[in-house]
Amino acid sequence: MRILLNEDQLQAGVERLATEIDRFYGDQRPVTVIAVMTGSVVLFADLIRRLSMPQRVGVIQASSYRGGTQSQELEVNETMMIDVKGRDVLLVDDIFDTGRTLDRLTGLIRERGAKTTKTAVLLHKHRQHEVSLRPDFVGFEIPDEFVVGYGLDYLDMYRNLPYLAVLEPSEIDATKSESER
């Protein structure tokens, strides 16, 4: 595994992200912060503790990676999402890859009557995106490589790593073989 961002770099990036979000919202304006599960769980926990504004928090589950390194059709489970009608919403996700997840979820939140919708991602991958939407707040720009750690996974492994790493092809194969046992 090749480390792309170490633990200190990630924490500094989350701090920068929180500072930018605080500047935008101010410390008096209540915000509904929604995590896109499961990949953003580590980022979400670190980020909301650094934000100074009053917050309501909730989650929505969305997945487009099921057993591989290529994005598939997006599945959304909104049963745990809190009411957003008339609220300022900040949607937090781990990575902006194809863009389809944030595009669909921001549309869903708008349909639910949010007053405003902004997006924050830890990682913005340099690649051709499939949608016109771009994240409002970005922690890091990264190359178009398959990354794990700090909440991101491959076959539900590696989320616990305190750093962000690129999985090499041999490690992808080994993890896949291990998961098939």
Catalytic site residue 173?
no
The whole-angstrom separation of Cα 160 and Cα 116 is 32
Q: Which helix (H) or strand (E) holds 35?
A: strand 31-37
Q: Which amino acid is at 137?
A: F
Which is the catalytic residue, given 97, 103, 136, 156? Answer: 97
Residues 117 and 106: beta-carbon distance below 8 Å: yes
DSSP 86-118: T-EEEEEEEEESSSHHHHHHHHHHHHTT-SEEE
Residues 108 and 91: beta-carbon distance below 8 Å: no
Cis upstream peptide for 38 (omega within 30°)? yes
Residues acting as catalytic residues: 97
